[in-house]
Chain A
Amino acid sequence: MQIELQSLIPAAIFSNSGNVLLAVILLLSIVVALSGVVNLYSRKPAWQKITTGMIIAISLLFIGGFLWISWFHWQIYRNLPLELPENLMGWVNRQLDNMNRSSSYGMPLYDPANPPRYKIPLWIENEKYYFWFMCYAIMALIVHLRLQNHRFRAFLHLFLALQVAILYFWVNPFIEPLPKFFNEIGPWYAAEQSVMHKAGYFMRLYPKMIFYYNAEYMWFHPPLLFISYGSITITFITSVFMLFKRDLLLEKIGYQYAKLGFFMLTLGMLLGYPWALKAWGPNWWWDPKICSSLIMWAVFSTYLHTRLYANKKSMWYFTSILGIICFFAMIFTFLTSFYFPGEHTFQ
């Protein structure tokens, strides 16, 4: 992070405290994972009370970390406005006015009394993984408290530990907070810039602020989908167990989370549509991300339909396999943004 930015926002405090919190979550998760391995192979449940306490602690720490991320974003909102020098305001507003005349979706004109500020949602860059895994942690806790099956709980715990490990070692949001965002805005805060440099940076940063960072849909589309991903993971675990045991309570829980997942997925996808029209214009249909999302939705839809006949033996197994395919379709959809080009790419 540039030195000028470091003096404006408390990134170091955020980063150091966040890393400590995540390290504690990781330690607890390692213990929970060990308990998971023991319980998978053990005929009798072991260490259930201890792991219950640890799962509760992990969930609470996740929530605490999320509040900590919220505080950091509040600091960005307060301390990083895009303030223009007086001699540029008129020129910028003329450019914005010209752009707005030829566009369906305009940008607000610059107001010196109220300079534009970043209202960055809490799930961009690596923070999206934090939110996703936090959703799973809370759902895993709820399911853990509902089901007494120690082997099923073990599976839940192992998945949780895997996600925490991925978060800590690979996609840690605290080590270098929001690197892409700060790289983008860093030049704005560099010292001794010419007026035209400043104008150019503003015309690059402002549209992205309006149509991406501050877009109202950013507060709904991603979190709904990540809640869906957490639910699909629970349904996946129940589906795996359904292949080995006809347990109606297990199937009922899997179905409850499948309904929640489908609801969030459908609503999240629907809310992405008007945003895409606004940000990308009309010609983005058949983008790889859209295709993969359709696949996931179709598989999920099929699962919910076939579940109506889950009392038939063959449909019980077919439904379970579909629940498993749903999970892999979700992973495939998520990875699409990394390996396929298009409007929705992270490349």
Chain B
Amino acid sequence: MKLKNSYDFYLILATTIVLFAICLISIYGMFYFKFAQIHQMAPAVKILYMNRMNTIIAPFVVCLILLLGICVPKRLLPTSWLNRVTLLLLAGAILTWLGWGGRASLFFILAASFILQAAVFFLAVSGSKNLHFHKKGYWVRLGSSLIHMGLILFVLDLLLYEKKTLHLSLFWITTGTSVLGMIFSFYAESVVGLISGKQNVPEENM
């Protein structure tokens, strides 16, 4: 049990580090944009800048999705299997990167994470006790699944920006998923109160 708590804790620390790296890249991008006067440049130069920034941030986005991919199966599998799933995802990501490039690698990670998250979601909907969520409330589990699914779909959607109709349709699905997820996760007690018609819902064990 202590090891599981440590695993969660270190996952959150790792997520913090990756998000911090993304922040630093964003700050670099802002100042580069300002001093290079990208806004005044020809469209080709703007696209070059955007592609360069995408290349810089891609490994960190892969790390973030990988961490999400680890975070998701920990709710389904015992700790002993977690390392195997982690290595499997990492190996898959590296192989696809080497064979088909960064974009394919991202697609692989996103697809794998989405499948896992979809499995978690259906388990959450059915109220499975196999999940190892930090908070055990039904709606919190559901909300957390939806929020993480929304993030995966959002990154996937960005990769599909050239297919306009699909891009926008998927975007609205992502928005709906994320909004529902936040409502269920952040306001679980109110949701339960609304559904059960009770005014005072007892605090669930956290």
User: Contacts A262-B182, A263-B182, A286-B50 given: A341-B22 contact, CB under 8 Å?
Assistant: no
Whether A291 contacts B47 by the Cβ 8 Å rule is no
Bound complex: CA of A260 vs CA of B185, how far in Å? Answer: 12
CB neighbours (8 Å) of A270 from chain B are 174-175, 178
B127 interfacial contact with A, CB 8 Å:
no
Q: In the complex, which residues of chain A have a beta carbon less than 8 angstroms from the beta carbon of B49? A: 286
User: Does the CB pair B16–A305 fall under 8 Å?
Assistant: yes
Known pairs A266-B178, A283-B50, A291-B27; A341 contacts B19 (CB<8 A)? no
A266-B178, A274-B171, A291-B33 given; 14 more Cβ-contact pairs under 8 Å: A104-B164, A260-B186, A267-B178, A270-B178, A283-B43, A283-B46, A287-B33, A291-B26, A298-B22, A299-B23, A309-B12, A339-B34, A341-B34, A341-B40
Contact residues in B for A277 (Cβ distance below 8 Å)? 168
Distance A292 CA – B30 CA, assembled complex (angstroms) = 8
> Is B37 touching A266 in the complex (CB atoms < 8 A)?
no
Return the contact of A306 from the options B16, B47, B50, B178 (Cβ within 8 A): B16
Q: Is the CB of A292 within 8 A of B186?
A: no
Could you give 27 example pairs across A and B, Cβ below 8 Å?
A104-B164, A259-B182, A259-B186, A263-B183, A270-B174, A270-B175, A270-B178, A274-B168, A274-B171, A283-B43, A283-B47, A283-B50, A286-B53, A291-B33, A292-B30, A294-B22, A295-B23, A298-B22, A298-B23, A299-B23, A302-B19, A305-B12, A305-B15, A306-B12, A306-B16, A340-B30, A341-B33
Report whether A308 and B134 are in contact in the complex, using a CB–CB cutoff of 8 Å. yes
Tell me how far the C-beta of A309 lies from the nearest C-beta in chain B, rounded to whole angstroms.
6
Q: Quick one: closest A residue to B46, CB to CB? A: A283
Selected contact of A342 from candidates B9, B20, B33, B43, CB within 8 Å: B33
Given the known interface contacts A286-B33, A309-B12, A340-B33, the answer about A301 and B53 at a Cβ–Cβ threshold of 8 Å is: no
Is B122 on the interface with A (CB-CB < 8 A)? Answer: no
Chain B residues contacting A299 (CB-CB under 8 Å) are 19, 23
B39 interface residue, CB < 8 Å from A? yes
Residues 269-285 of A, flagged 1 when their CB comes within 8 A of B and 0 if not, give 01101100100001101
Nearest CB on A from B102, distance (A): 16
Which residues on B are within 8 Å of A, measured CB to CB?
9, 12, 15-16, 19-20, 22-23, 26-27, 29-30, 33-34, 37, 39-40, 43, 46-47, 49-50, 53-54, 134, 161, 164, 168, 171, 174-175, 178-179, 182-183, 186-187
Contacts of A302 in B (CB 8 A): 15-16, 19-20
Interface presence of A223 (CB below 8 A): no
Find chain A residues with CB under 8 A from B161 CB. Answer: 282
Q: Which DSSP category, helix, strand, loop or mixed, fits chain A's interface?
A: helix
Q: Which of A271, A302, A342 has the most CB of B within 10 A?
A: A302
Q: How far is the CB of B151 from chain A (nearest CB, A)?
A: 9
Q: Select the residue from A277, A295, A308 with max chain B CB neighbours within 10 A.
A: A295
How many residue pairs between the two chains, A and B, have CB atoms under 8 Å in the bound complex?
89
A288 within 8 A of B: yes
Q: Evaluate contact between A266 and B182: CB separation under 8 angstroms.
A: yes
Question: Contact residue range for chain A?
Answer: 35 or more
Known: A270-B178, A298-B22, A341-B39. A288 touches B186 (CB 8 A): no
Q: Are B50 and A342 in contact (CB under 8 A)?
A: no
Smallest distance from the beta carbon of A281 to chain B beta carbons, Å? Answer: 10
Q: Does A39 contact B (CB under 8 A)?
A: no
Q: Is A336 an interface residue (CB 8 A)?
A: yes
Q: Bound state CA distance, A271 and B16, in angstroms?
A: 26
**A288 CA to B34 CA, complexed, in Å:** 8
Q: Report the Cα distance A292→B27, complex, angstroms.
A: 7
- Set of chain B residues within 8 Å of A262, measured between Cβ atoms: 182, 186
Verify B30–A336 contact, CB threshold 8 A.
yes
CA distance A288 to B9 in the complex (A): 32
In the complex, what residues of A have CB within 8 A of residue B178's CB? 266-267, 270
A14 to B144, CA, bound (A): 47
CB within 8 A of A288: which of B22, B23, B33, B46? B33
CB contacts (< 8 Å) of A298 on chain B: these are 19-20, 22-23, 26
Residues of chain A lying within 8 A (CB to CB) of residue B171: 273-274
CB proximity of A328 to chain B, nearest CB, Å: 12
